[in-house]
Amino acid sequence: MAVFRLMYSWVYFFVVLTLAGVAFSRHQISDISYQVRAAQEADRIIELPGQPQVSFKQYSGYVTVNESHGRALFYWFFEATESPENKPLLLWLNGGPGCSSIGYGAAEELGPFLSQKGKPELKFNKNAWNKAANLLFLEAPVGVGFSYTNTSSDIKELGDEITATDSYTFLVNWFKRFPQYKSHDFYISGESYAGHYVPQLSEVIFDKNMHVPKKEYINFKGFMIGNALMDDETDQKGMVDYAWDHAVISDHLYDEIKLECNFSNENTTDACDTAIGKYFDVYKIIDMYSLYAPTCFDNATSSTRKFTGIRGIAPRLFSKQKGWHQKPAGYDPCLSEYTEVYLNRPDVQKALHANVTKMSYPWTHCSDTITFWKEAPASMLPVIRKLVNGGIRVWVFSGDTDGRIPVTSTRLTLKKLGLKTVQDWSPWYSSHEVGGWTVEYEGLMFVTVRGAGHQVPTFKPKQALQLVKHFLANKKLPSTPS
């Protein structure tokens, strides 16, 4: 009996200590939550106009990245559909430069709510990427979408470097607002000019993590980029090769471009400009971003209309042509028109906590205010090589019907990167069908997505979700039908 009483006393003492510890832990969480709860709740979206009912939470708003200049970047964040506390955090970036991750990525590609034709409501995306991760979209740099600066001269200073720096500052400050995600594995993904944005931001995080205090350390694990601008020489050569190989341009024009243009040199000649101009003329009548998709004929502001050209961006030769500066289209070629109507509604902007500065211009997919880009490296390969060598997980994917940054360009670029091939050209499967092909390099995975255009999640949503799930899990895509 004495032994039993002694054991009971120890058990009682242990339970009391445990409960006290839990209470203390809850008290700490409560303290932390109290400090950030107001900021989080201010950004909480209760419900968007026309939004389908969901169980996960969403937030949007502004994070200041430069107090003295009044620079603030706009974000939209979706918790994972299930167990957000156990899922990684994924940041998605669109490119342009000057184009919106909210308009393209969130509303037309991989977000949980997609815009649609002829209805003021949003539709639910059953292949949304927040099934795999907590999903964060960012409009960067300032001047893009709802992001703004109170210092007008900032717009003239924009370039790759300031975009990476401001995006990093955004992340540091965003984690202060949402500290519950600070310990989660963090990944970045994006497409097109995000072939610059993503590796550059990754490099900043990688370098900063070497010496920042623990409170600013980001648990960065890897990045994935699609149909990505990575190297001027191979991107441009691959575009021409792809156009010829897919019966878009004639033998004569192909030979003329090869004769007159040197893609390793940013200086051009009149003869080269003329030849490239003929090349872009073809893409006035078909969709460069998806060779076999229809074009939009709804109205004069169709998806093929030009947007403001930006001087100084990569690639050096092609970006000087007006034909380079046009908006991409989705599977529904008029999809972007529906998105712009929705995001310019006052009730939608109010629900998103957006346009707080009452911009003098409407929200657009791609900025009309950014006309000059201060600097853009001709190649991202040194950065990618550095990060691969640093143990960062890197996947590159490519929709194979895209003419803008085609699979041919990406293959030439990765060959130039010079990594050892571990497993060569192998099919991967989505259910019973071939989803595309993979090449496993030492430290990098290359994946093609069969039948997808420039915006892979728009054209092949099921396969895109499968792709990101395998990337986040660091697992090879299935090599046999299921």
- pLDDT by position in tens, the chain (length 482): 443 343 444 444 333 333 333 333 333 344 467 778 899 999 999 999 999 999 999 999 999 999 999 999 999 999 999 999 999 999 999 999 999 999 999 999 999 999 988 777 899 999 999 999 999 999 999 999 999 999 999 999 999 999 999 999 999 999 999 999 999 999 999 999 999 999 999 999 999 999 999 999 999 999 999 999 999 999 999 999 999 999 999 999 999 999 999 999 888 899 999 999 999 999 999 989 999 987 766 544 444 445 568 889 999 889 988 888 877 765 666 778 889 999 999 999 999 999 999 988 999 999 989 999 999 999 999 999 999 999 999 999 999 999 999 999 999 999 999 999 999 999 999 999 999 999 999 999 999 999 999 999 999 999 999 999 999 999 999 999 98
From 408, 416, 420, select the one nearest 378 (Cα to Cα). 416
CA 222, CA 186: separation in Å to the nearest integer? Answer: 7
* Closest to 447 measured CA to CA, from 463, 461, 458, 431: 463
Cα–Cα distance between 373 and 193 in angstroms, integer?
13
DSSP state of 378: S
Query: For the purposes of burial, counting CB atoms within 10 Å of the CB of 123, is it exposed (0-12), middle (13-18) or buried (19 or more)?
Result: middle
Output helix, strand, coil percentages for the chain, rounded to the nearest 5: 40, 20, 40
Please enumerate in sequence order all residues whose Cβ is within 8 A of that of 244, keeping only pairs 6 or more positions apart, or say none: 251, 254
* Ramachandran region, residue 53 (left: φ > 0; alpha: ψ -120 to 50; beta: rest): beta
End-to-end CA distance of the chain: 62
DSSP state of 53: P
* Residue 128 Cα distances to 46, 107, 131, 312, 438, angstroms: 19, 10, 6, 34, 23
Q: Phi/psi at 317 (nearest 5 deg)? A: -80, -50
Indicate which residues carry an active-site annotation.
Answer: 192, 402, 454
pLDDT of residue 71: 96
pTM of the model: 0.91
Gap between the Cα atoms of 229 and 258, Å rounded? 20
Residue 320 class from Cβ within 10 Å (0-12 exposed, 13-18 middle, 19+ buried)?
middle
Task: Give yes or no for a contact between 116 and 122, defined as CB atoms under 8 angstroms apart.
Answer: yes
> Could you tell me where the DSSP H helices lie in 390-459?
407-417, 456-459
Give the Cα separation of 136 and 386 in Å (integer).
25
- Are 343 and 335 in contact, with CB atoms under 8 Å apart? no
The residue among 236, 181, 230 whose CA lies nearest residue 40 is 181
Element containing residue 74 per DSSP (H, E): strand 71-78
Q: Work out the number of other CB atoms within 10 angstroms of the CB of residue 354.
A: 22
277, 311 Cβ separation under 8 angstroms: no
The answer to whether the beta carbons of residues 230 and 388 sit under 8 Å apart is no
